């Protein structure tokens, strides 16, 4: 029963990885890059259940809407380090849905990397030794790692 739950959890992580990847791909395929300026920083303090607090910096970015030419603002959905007011940043603007996303590693790669890492770790744990040995042997042979 325990291994069945681990298999399901592994599958959930791997499906989430693919979903995040496809979602980002579709977003950028339908987007245009525009520049924005950090006009302010929302410095939020969050407290965990064990009374630890952390200070997060969410940049507030202003950009010119490419359709209406109006100045728009949005708050990044991911906290960032070393946020400086007045700095120029790149934004992906999705015209058909009029949504924007800050082009940053935190926004794009962290969800995909975290879910993918946990999924692969569970997959490696769950694959029987004989199968993992065969897969690794094939990979090493394909990469010409053995002397002939």
Rounded Cα distance between 74 and 34, Å, is 14
Question: H/E element holding 91?
Answer: strand 88-94
Domain range annotation of the chain: 2-142
| Sheet strands side by side (includes 88-94) | 71-75, 53-64, 31-47, 88-94, 99-102
What are the tens digits of pLDDT across the range 54-93? 788 899 999 999 988 999 999 998 888 888 999 999 999 9
The rounded mean pLDDT for the chain is: 85
What single DSSP character describes residue 59?
A: E
**Binning pLDDT at 50, 70 and 90, where does residue 5 land?**
confident
CB-side neighbour CA atoms (13 Å) of 115? 16
Determine the pLDDT at residue 61.
Answer: 95
Rounded Cα distance between 107 and 3, Å, is 33
pLDDT exceeds cutoff 70 at 147: no
Give the mean pLDDT of 20-32: 88
> Is the pTM value of this prediction over 0.75?
no
């Amino acid at each position: 029963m325990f291994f069945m739950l681990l298999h399901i959890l592994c599958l959930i992580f791997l499906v989430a990885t693919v979903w995040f990847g496809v979602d980002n791909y579709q977003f950028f395929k339908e987007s245009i890059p525009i520049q924005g300026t950090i006009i302010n920083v929302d410095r939020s303090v969050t407290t965990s259940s064990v009374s630890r607090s952390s200070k997060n910096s969410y940049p507030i970015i202003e950009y010119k809407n490419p359709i209406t030419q109006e100045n728009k603002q949005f708050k990044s959905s991911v906290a960032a380090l070393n946020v400086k007011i007045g700095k120029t940043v790149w934004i992906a603007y999705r015209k058909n849905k009029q949504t924007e996303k800050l082009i940053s590693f935190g926004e794009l790669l962290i969800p995909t990397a975290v879910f993918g890492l946990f999924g692969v770790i569970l997959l490696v744990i769950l694959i029987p030794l004989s199968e993992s040995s065969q897969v690794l042997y094939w990979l090493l042979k394909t990469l010409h790692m053995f002397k002939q």
